[in-house]
Structure formats: structure tokens, C-alpha cells
Amino acid sequence: MMNKSILEVSGLTMDFGGIRALDRLDLDVGPKEIVALIGPNGAGKTTFFNCLTGIYLPSAGDIRLVSPQTGKQSRLNGLKPNKITKKGVARTFQNIRLFSQMTVLENVMIGRHCRTSSLILGAILRTRRTRKEEQETIDKSYDILEKVGLSEQANEFASNLSYGAQRRLEIARALATEPFLLLLDEPAAGMNPQETADLVTLILQIRDEGHAILLIEHDMKLVMSLSDRIFVMDYGKKIAQGAPAEIRVNRAVIKAYLGEDEGPDNA
Amino acid sequence: MITVKEVKRSLLVSLWFVFLTFPLMVIKVNPYERTVSWRWRNMVYVAIGTFVITLLAKAWFARKEKRMARQQDSCHLRLPIIQRILQKPGYRNSLAVFLLGAALAFPHLFSTYQANIMTTALMYIVLGLGLNIVVGVAGLLDLGYVAFYAVGAYSYALLNLHFDLGFWTVLPIGGLLAALFGVLLGFPVLRLRGDYLAIVTLGFGEIIRLILENWNAFSKGPSGISNIPRPGFFGLEMSLDQAMIYMYYLMIGLLLVTIFVVNRLQDSRLGRAWLALREDEIACQAMGIDKTRTKLIAFSLGAFWAGLIGVIFAAKTTFVNPASFTFMESAIILSIVVLGGMGSIVGVILGALILVLLPEYLRALSEYRMLAFGAILVAMMIFKPEGLIANVRRSYCYHGKKSNTALKNDE
Amino acid sequence: MDYFIELFCSGLTRGSIYALIALGYTMVYGIIGLINFAHGEIYMIGAFTSFIVATVLSIYGFPLAAIVVVAGVAAAIWSSAYGYTVEKIAYKPLRHAPRLAPLISAIGMSILLQNYVLLAQTSDFLPFPELIPEFSFVEPIAHIIGSSDIVILLTTTVVMLALTFLIKFTRIGKAMRATAQDRTMALLVGINVDRVISATFIIGSALAAIGGLLIASHIGQINFAIGFIAGIKAFTAAVLGGIGSIPGAVLGSLILGLTESFATGYISSDYEDVFAFSLLVLILIFKPSGLLGKAETKKV
Ligand SMILES: Nc1ncnc2c1ncn2[C@@H]1O[C@H](COP(=O)(O)OP(=O)(O)O)[C@@H](O)[C@H]1O
Ligand SMILES: [Mg+2]
């Protein structure tokens, strides 16, 4: 497993002033794998995503990415977020960060930015190449919207969407950057059971198309049914890792979740 | 509609302002003759004025709330009349043709003096459109815009003085030099938070002006540079009147080019990235947009336009000195963008026409010009942050078919 | 050597004036995260109010001590009233607006207040009455430091101590610190955040007014535009020290004052303002968190 993984994180540490939000964390994701990262609120899961995507600069540790297409290895520490996205890692945000003053379609088109290239002159002269690229952007974005079931609302403002639809739009926007690794931060939060069920289908479909997925989620039913492997964090540390069946009976995990509304036993 | 309680509150507010403005509005001392004049009449003006304004503001907010509630029921946005006209291509095109015709005929219908004023207004429109890329579209508050304008003006003045270069040669050079300054300043500061950017650009604008004022060997100091030639037209000799009318048509030409370019930029990959950046930088970066580079392009494009107009300004007045490039000039251009509507081309045009022509034709008001600009900035942010004419998002055709949903108003 | 000490003293004087203004910037920034562009104008209004009150009183023949006290109090009261009103009109309605909106509103306020004073009073420079007498004990060292320098340094020190006491030990001071640290949390534990914000504007404005009175009597003249440059410089000082940090504002102000004093004394006085602006640009580029500020990672 180790030598085939596309993401290898070792010893990742993040300090904020006195607080250690991540403490020597190790984690790996293999190609086309669905890996879940769980843990109580404040455990440091979102911080982990932020370090991975270059939004925070980790204090120590190593993040390595291996492109499944080219097999090329690269170190992500210290790279700017846009460089990391270009390398094939895309994410959604726990506290939805859509461009609310732009239409749904435009939100997805923004995701195409790093896979397109026209600049000032192209925009002014509107050359054949630019026009082709622009139409391609529109068509591909529309296809993605169809996939997540938002094509009907393509020209609505993003802010007019329902909560669940906004979460799906976040996924669509991330997919538009053509990632091989997709990071989802609590994608089911605030969704009703029907929406959650649709989300499961969507995530599986995305995996089947060849993307690996790293998922933060509190909905244990979803986590247990989807994940190939689960990592559990508490207070910045990894306290367990393994297949869903193992995690379900892990004592440390049960202890960490004691008192939480939705322990792993609810699954 | 207006309740007794509201009237009472407005009275209190008005009393407060009477107290607040008392020393500055009522007392006026003459320290040389050692006399005091008590201007009690001002107190009455303040009392009445603030009372009325408070009531109006309350009414405005009440109306806005009601409208919001109604919109939530119907979910159909009702666009203002101007926008409804602008959205029908037929109306829009005939309006554009009519305006262009009027603009072309203008110098022949009115005096050269009027044409001259109009030229100034046109220059402010183009400056506004340039700043609109930076502030309105990309959301970068540039308070030193006038510095780039100065770079353009002084490039023409100096290159002409020392190397005898002509207007048409310097026009692109001035623009490019200003853009270069934009890149040099922007590269380090565009990483900063938005409010720091505002103050750094403000400081930069002042530095440029102070250098022009003090470095006599370079810029001839406060007395400035005169006898700058007007633009030539294939070596044709022109009278003053003709030269002014020529300037007018030149500005019309430049305005058309600017509108064309800005329109195309806004509706492009780059334009979308700017808009997204204005809303959420972190989400943008996570979507693979190079924040600094994208901002830098907007910043230097804006500077380029300021440089162009700077060259034209020097040619029009045939004289430049540092006094033309104070912070207040930047503030005027900012007011144009904010009043018209950030990101909206039609809005900026309207804003510039109002803010330049109104004080010009209502001489009595011109004293209150800067006061009004300040008030406009505050009032627009509070009452109508989207400006007189809001920017409109477009819908796209996919797979060759047009979408069935109508355009939506950006509110 | 005397020249050096003279420059040093005048640098300290300048610096302590900047500090009085810079504190207002830093406190407001610490609590609502906004650059209050209109703060320089509050300082100018303080200077103008004290000018008007002092001149009226001296025309009516009041004794100097009474003039100083009344002018100082009036300046503090009216500046605070303006600061309070500016916050209520231009910033409070925009607390949840996009980040550009309050900034633009602040700039508008600054322009508005400047021109309001210009129209209500005059655009000319006005002679400020001499409020600080020449002390006889200063005479032997008068070539190094003047009476007004001493008064300014002393007043500033006293004001700083009072402010420190206020922030450290009083109820409102504690509420201010709590709000600066975490506004949502402060709200949850029952702090009236609106009141804290108003208090911050009032205190900052009063400090600026004292600065306005001191500098005006030191220099001897005022006009409507003095707030603009002073404001930017004080802001520079606040950023230099680390915006949001109160000791930082004082430290930054002293450094800026000394830098300006030495630069104008030894290099050239033509470029007086260029030094400050260049310093501002350089700090923001190389160390935007300032000397005593902490570099924070914005929570995502
Ligand atoms: N930018 C930041 N500055 C300071 N502390 C932070 C920052 N981001 C996260 N933290 C802290 O790190 C810890 C982990 O937070 P987070 O990663 O959001 O947890 P989770 O996503 O697991 O609920 C929390 O204590 C949080 O307060
Ligand atoms: Mg989280």
C-alpha cells in the first residue's frame, strides 16, 4: 500500500501561538481510495486540510504528492495554494465559501481557471483560440453541473441555492479543477437524509471516475458505508487508523467520542 | 408612514447635531482683529437640515426593507428601468447609436468652450473606467491612482522637453511607463490585506507628488513645465478652436476603445477571476487562481489607462505641475466609480458625467464640490452600495443552446 | 553634539504627538479591524475647537490657566462627540458589509470632515494662541529643548499612564480587551459590544484632541488640512509598532518621530513627508505585522 499511495503525510505539525493544532500526524491516501478523517470538533481536521492545500504553512513535517498519471513525486510544503491545486488537489470548505455574487455556472467556470490560459490579449482580441477555450470552459462546467444535479440552476446566483445545493456546488467547483485527489470538508453537514443519500451516490460516482477522496465527516453512517479506511484524530494527534470495522470497536475512538452526540456506535 | 416616535427620534438627532456643530458652525473668530462673530443662523440650518435628512434616511430604510420582503415572496427581481432598457438589445443598440450621434455632433451644436468641458468629462470617464477595473472589478482599493496619471503627464512633459518626442509617440510610452510603475509598486504590496493596500497606495501617491514638487532638477518643482505641444494631426496647423475640437474627438475615440476593451476584459477568464477575487481570495486560491499575478494585471492595467489620460491631460492643458495630482484627484475618481456602480461601465459613465458636469454648470455648487464627494462616498456605501447602475451578470450558452433563464440583477 | 540632542528632543516631541493620534488608530483597529481614515480629521477638529475656544476666551480676557483648561476640555469633548458620531453614521451600518465598504466610507468621512471645516471656518492658516508660557528654568537649555517640548512630553506621559490604567484595571478597559481578542466570545459573555466600540472611538478621539491642542500651540498655526498628513503619519507609526498593539503604537511613534527629526536635520527638510511615507511602504512590504504585533494566521 505505502509505495503506491498518491498522498503521503508524515510528522505534520501545526502550531498557532501556544496551541498545537496538529501533532506529528501521519496519513496516506492510495489511488481511487476513499479515506475518512474523523474526530471530535476542534480535533484539527480542518487545519489538516488547510496545511495540505497550502492555506496554512505547517510548522513541521512533510507532505508528498505522487501524480498517478505521471508518477512524478513532489513536496507540497510551502507551495502556494494555487500551485497545489494545479498539481491536482482540490477541496471544499466546511464553512461554504462560494462566490455568492456570481452565478452557479460561473462558480464552476472559476474552477476551470487553472486549466485554461487566455490572458489580456486573448480577452481583448477574442481570438479563435480564446473563443474555443471559453466555449470549452462553459461546456465542461455545464457537464459537471449536470453530474451534481445543478444544471437547472446554472444561471441562478450561488447565494440563492439551498444549503445542500451549495455544498454540491462546492464539490462541482472543486471537480472543475480536474483533481486526482479531492478533499471534502464535512460535505453532508446540514443536509437532510435524502440529500445525504444523493451525496453518497455522487461521491461513489466521483471515485469510480478515478478520483481519490479524503473526507472529513461527522455523519458516521455515511463514513462507515463509504470509506475504505478511516483515520481518527483527537487533540491534533492520530489516535487510530484502520478499516471501518476495526474503528467501530476501537476503544480509544469510543473514549474520544464519549459525550459526543453522535458516537461511532450510532452507525 | 412616519410615526410620532420617528419624529421624536429625528428631533433628538437634530439636537445632537446642533450641539456637535456648535463651535465650528456658529462661532467664527478673527484672531487678528480679535473679534468674535456668532452665526446663530447656521444653527437653525443645521437643526432643520439634520432633522429632514434623518427622516428621509429612516423612510429609505423602511422602504428598502419592505421591498426586500416583497422580493422574497415573488423571487422575481424587479430591475430598475435603466437596466431593463439596457438588457433589451434593440433598445440598447438604438440608445448607443443615439448617444454616439449626439456626442459626435456636440462640438457643432455647442460652443468650443462647452466642448472643452465635455473633453474634461470624457477624460474623467476614461479615468473612472480605468480605476473601475482596479476597484470595481478586482476589488483593490487604490487610493494613489492619481500617481499613475502624474506619471503619464510628466512622461509627455519631460520626454517632449528633453527629447522633443511628439504626442503620438509618447501616448503609448506614457501608458506603458505608468503600467510599469503599477507593476513595481503592485508586486510587493498586492500581497497585503486590502486596507493596507489602500494606505500604501495613498502613501505612494503622495511620495510621487512630493518628489515632483521638490526635485527641481528633474521636474522643475512646483512651477511645473509649460509650453507642452498639443497633439498634431499629420503636421496640420490648427487654430486653438480646432485643436480643442480635435482633442474632443480624440477623447471620444479613446473612450470608445476603452469601453470596448473593458467590456471584453470583464467578460473573460481574467474578468471572472477578478470578480471572484473581490469576493473571496482564499476560495480563489484554492481554485487555482494565482492571486498576486491576477491582481497585478488588474492594477497595472488600471495604471496604464491613467498613464494614457495623463499624457492627454498634459497635451490638453499644455502645462503640468504637481498641484494637479493631489489625493483629492484620486478621491474624485473614486467617487465616480462608487457613485456610478462598481464594475458597471454604464454606471461609471453616468457617475463621471454627474460629478464633473454638475459642479461645472451649477457654479454655486462648485464650492461644495469636495464636501459632496465625501458625502457621496459615505452615503452610497450606506444606502446604495451597488451604485446608481448595478453591474449585471450574464448568462452563458452551453452546447450551443441559450439558457432559458433570464439575466439576473447583481444586487 | 548639541545639535544631535536638539534633534533628539524634537524627535521625541514629534513622536509623542504621533503617539497620541496613533493610539486611536490602533485601538479602533484592534476592536473592529478598520483603518479609521477619518481619525486624522478628528485630531484636526480637536485642534480647531481648542483654537476657537481659546481665542474666544482670550478675547474676553480670561486668565491663561483657565483658557488652557477650558480649551483642552472642550477639544476633548467635541472631538469625542465627532468620533462617536462618525462611528454611528459611517461604520456601524456597515459592520457586516463587504470589506471594501467601511474603508470607502471612512475615506468619504475624512474628505467630508475636512471640507466641512473648510466651509464652516476658513481655508487660511490661523495663528494659534500661545497657551504654553516660556518657563524661566528652561532658559539655560533653551537651545536644546523648549518649554512646549517639555510640556508635551510630560502631558503625553501622564496621558499614557492614565490610558494604561484605564485599559488594565477598569471595567470598560477589560471589556475592550476582551472584545479585541474575540468579538463573538465577548458578545456571548454578555459584553455590550456596541458600547465598547463607542467607548473606543470616544477615548481615541479624546487622545487625538489633546494631541491637536498640544501640536497646535507648539507650532503656532493650524488649518483644515493638518489632519490628513498627521493621520497618515500616525497610522504609519501604529503599523510600525504593530497595529492593534498599544505599546507598539507608542514605540512606533517615537521611532517615527526620531527618524523624521534626524532625517530632516541631517539630510534635507524638503523631503520631510517622503521619509514617513517611504517608511510606511517599507514596513508594510517587509514586516506588515510591525515590531510588537504578532503575525496571525487568519482562520479559514
Ligand atoms: N488560524 C488559526 N489560528 C489559531 N488557532 C486556530 C486557527 N485555525 C485553527 N485553530 C485552532 O486549531 C484547533 C483545531 O481546529 P480545526 O482544525 O478547525 O478543528 P476541526 O476541523 O477538527 O473541528 C482549534 O483549537 C482551533 O481553535
Ligand atoms: Mg472543521
Residues B112-171: pLDDT tens digits?
888 889 999 999 999 999 999 999 899 999 999 999 999 999 999 999 999 988 889 999
Answer whether A13's CB lies under 8 Å from A60's CB: yes
Answer whether C206's CB lies under 8 Å from C81's CB: no
Answer whether C205's CB lies under 8 Å from B179's CB: no
User: What are C235's three cell numbers?
Assistant: 497610522
Distances (CA, A) of C280 to B95, B163, C36, C238: 48, 35, 16, 10
Domain termination residue (choose one: B22, B53, B74): B74
Nearest residue on chain C to B335, judged by CA atoms?
A: C108
Nearest residue on chain C to A94, judged by CA atoms?
A: C300
Dmax over CA atoms of chain C, in Å, equals 63
Contact partners for chain A, using 3 or more CB pairs closer than 8 A, are B, C
User: Does C269 sit in the ligand 1 pocket, CB within 6 Å?
Assistant: no
Q: What is the mean pLDDT of chain B?
A: 86
Domain-embedded: residue C300: no
Helices assigned H by DSSP within C60-99: 64-86
Whether residues B167 and B25 share a domain: the answer is no
Domain-embedded: residue B411: no
Domain-embedded: residue B406: no
Best mutation target among A56, A92, A100, A185 (most C Cβ atoms within 10 Å) is A56
Q: Do B279 and A156 touch (CB under 8 A)?
A: no
DSSP annotation of A159 reads: G
Distance separating alpha carbons of residues C157 and B6, to the nearest angstrom? 46
Chain A hits for C300, CB-CB cut-off 8 Å, are 46, 50, 55-56, 93
Q: Do A17 and C300 touch (CB under 8 A)?
A: no
Name the strand (E) or helix (H) holding B29. Answer: strand B27-30
Distances (CA, A) of A47 to A5, A57, C40: 22, 10, 40
Domain-embedded: residue A127: no
Q: Do A119 and B297 touch (CB under 8 A)?
A: yes
Answer whether A111's CB lies under 8 Å from A176's CB: yes
Q: Which of A100, A109, A118 sits opposite B279 (nearest CB)?
A: A100
User: Does A46 sit in the ligand 1 pocket, CB within 6 Å?
Assistant: yes
Distance separating alpha carbons of residues A175 and A85, to the nearest angstrom? 11
Whether residues B48 and B117 share a domain: the answer is no
Give the pLDDT of residue B78: 54
Q: How many domains does chain B have?
A: 2
Q: Which domain holds residue B233?
A: 84-398
Spacing, Cα A141 to ligand 2 middle (Å) = 28
Give the pLDDT of residue B13: 93
Atom nearest to A49 CA in ligand 1 = 17
Please state the pTM of the whole predicted model.
0.88
Distances (CA, A) of A149 to A166, A188, A195, A201: 11, 16, 11, 12
Chain C CB within 8 Å of residue B196 CB: yes
* pLDDT band at C281; cut points 50, 70, 90: confident
Domain-embedded: residue C238: yes
Helices assigned H by DSSP within B3-39: 4-21
Domain-embedded: residue B90: yes
* pLDDT tens digits along C2-17: 888 888 988 999 999 9
* pLDDT tens digits along C212-227: 999 888 888 899 999 9
Among the ranges given (B43-57, B394-408, C24-38, C201-215), the one the predictor scored with the smallest mean pLDDT: B394-408
Q: Which residues pair with A90 in a beta bridge?
A: A182
Chain B CB within 8 Å of residue A147 CB: no
Whether residues B18 and B138 share a domain: the answer is no
Give the pLDDT of residue C210: 92
Whether residues B25 and B174 share a domain: the answer is no
Domain-embedded: residue B389: yes
User: What are B173's three cell numbers?
Assistant: 510610452
**Count of residues in chain C:** 300
User: Does A185 sit in the ligand 1 pocket, CB within 6 Å?
Assistant: no
Q: Do A50 and C300 touch (CB under 8 A)?
A: yes
Pick the closest to residue C79 from C51, C111, C108 (CA basis).
C51
B16: number of Cβ within 10 Å: 16
CA C105 from chain centre, in angstroms, equals: 20
pLDDT reading at B82 higher than 90: no
Q: Do B272 and A102 touch (CB under 8 A)?
A: yes
Q: Which domain holds residue A265?
A: 1-79+216-267
Chain B CB within 8 Å of residue A131 CB: no
| Cβ neighbourhood burial of A242 (10 Å; 0-12, 13-18, 19+) | middle
Q: At what angle do helices A104-111 and A128-148 cross, to 10 degrees?
A: 110
Grid cell 510548522 — which residue? A59
Whether residues B209 and B324 share a domain: the answer is yes
Shortest alpha-carbon distance between residue A87 and chain C (Å): 21
A32: number of Cβ within 10 Å: 16
Domain-embedded: residue A54: yes
* pLDDT band at B23; cut points 50, 70, 90: very high
Distance separating alpha carbons of residues C49 and C229, to the nearest angstrom? 19
Give me the tens of pLDDT residue by residue for chain A, a chain 267 residues long: 445 789 999 999 999 888 899 999 999 999 999 999 999 999 999 999 999 999 999 999 999 999 888 888 889 888 999 999 999 999 999 999 999 889 999 999 999 998 988 888 888 888 888 899 989 899 999 999 999 999 888 888 888 899 999 999 999 999 999 999 999 999 998 888 999 999 999 999 999 999 999 999 998 889 999 999 999 999 999 988 999 888 888 888 888 776 554 444 444
Whether residues B133 and B29 share a domain: the answer is no
Strands (E) in B300-400, as ranges, are: 319-320, 392-393
Distance separating alpha carbons of residues A117 and B293, to the nearest angstrom? 13
Mean per-residue pLDDT, C97-124: 91
Name the strand (E) or helix (H) holding B290. Answer: none
Strand, helix or coil at A258? coil
Pick the closest to residue B82 from B91, B94, B74 (CA basis).
B91
* pLDDT tens digits along B190-235: 888 778 888 888 888 988 998 999 888 888 888 889 888 888 776 6
DSSP annotation of C96 reads: T
Spacing, Cα C128 to ligand 2 middle (Å) = 59
User: What are A197's three cell numbers?
Assistant: 443519500
Domain-embedded: residue B405: no
Give the pLDDT of residue A258: 62
* pLDDT tens digits along B94-107: 888 888 888 888 88
User: Does A45 sit in the ligand 1 pocket, CB within 6 Å?
Assistant: yes
Spacing, Cα A216 to ligand 1 middle (Å) = 14
User: Does A16 sit in the ligand 1 pocket, CB within 6 Å?
Assistant: yes
Strand, helix or coil at B43? helix
Whether residues B232 and B262 share a domain: the answer is yes
Distance separating alpha carbons of residues A186 and A96, to the nearest angstrom? 10
| Residues 121 through 140 of chain B touching chain C, CB cutoff 8 Å | 135, 139
pLDDT reading at C79 higher than 60: yes
Distances (CA, A) of A214 to A108, A114, A183, C185: 21, 21, 5, 32
Indicate if the alpha-carbon torsion angle B309, B372, B207, C27 is positive or negative: negative
Q: Which residues pair with A242 in a beta bridge?
A: A230
User: What are A136's three cell numbers?
Assistant: 470549452
Q: Do C297 and A93 touch (CB under 8 A)?
A: no
Type of residue at A67: S
Strands (E) in B163-226, as ranges, are: 225-226
Q: What is the CATH number of the domain that holds C109?
A: 1.10.3470
Shortest alpha-carbon distance between residue A202 and chain B (Å): 20
Strands (E) in A139-266, as ranges, are: 181-185, 212-216, 229-234, 237-242
Q: Which residues pair with B319 in a beta bridge?
A: B226
Could you tell me how many helices (H) and strands (E) chain A has, helices first? 10, 10
State the Rg of chain A over Cα.
Answer: 19
| In chain C, % of residues over pLDDT 90 | 43
Q: How many domains does chain C have?
A: 1
Among the ranges given (A98-107, B288-297, B390-399, C6-15), the one the predictor scored with the smallest mean pLDDT: B390-399
pLDDT reading at B294 higher than 50: yes
Distance separating alpha carbons of residues B82 and B341, to the nearest angstrom? 13
Q: Which of A53, A103, A133 sits opposite B286 (nearest CB)?
A: A53
User: Does A194 sit in the ligand 1 pocket, CB within 6 Å?
Assistant: no
Domain-embedded: residue C295: no
Give the pLDDT of residue B408: 38
Q: Measuring from atom 26 of ligand 1, which residue has the nearest CA? A: A42
Q: Which domain holds residue C266?
A: 2-286
Spacing, Cα B151 to ligand 2 middle (Å) = 49
pLDDT reading at B370 higher than 50: yes
**Ligand index nearest the alpha carbon of residue A14:** 1
Q: How many domains does chain A have?
A: 1
Pick the closest to residue A35 from A239, A243, A259, A214 (CA basis).
A214
Domain-embedded: residue B409: no
Whether residues B184 and B157 share a domain: the answer is yes
- DSSP per-residue string spanning A20-84: EEEEEEEEEE-TT-EEEEE-STTSSHHHHHHHHTTSS--SEEEEEEE-TTT--EEE-TT--HHHH
Domain-embedded: residue C292: no
Q: Which of C52, C109, C284 sits opposite B23 (nearest CB)?
A: C52
Answer whether C12's CB lies under 8 Å from C258's CB: yes
Phi, psi of A23 (to 5 degrees): -125, 105
Whether residues B18 and B53 share a domain: the answer is yes
Type of residue at B290: D
Q: What is the CATH number of the domain that holds A227?
A: 3.40.50.300
Chain C CB within 8 Å of residue B221 CB: no
**Ligand index nearest the alpha carbon of residue A57:** 1
Dmax over CA atoms of chain B, in Å, equals 81
Mean per-residue pLDDT, B387-398: 73
Q: Do A120 and B288 touch (CB under 8 A)?
A: no
Give the pLDDT of residue A263: 44
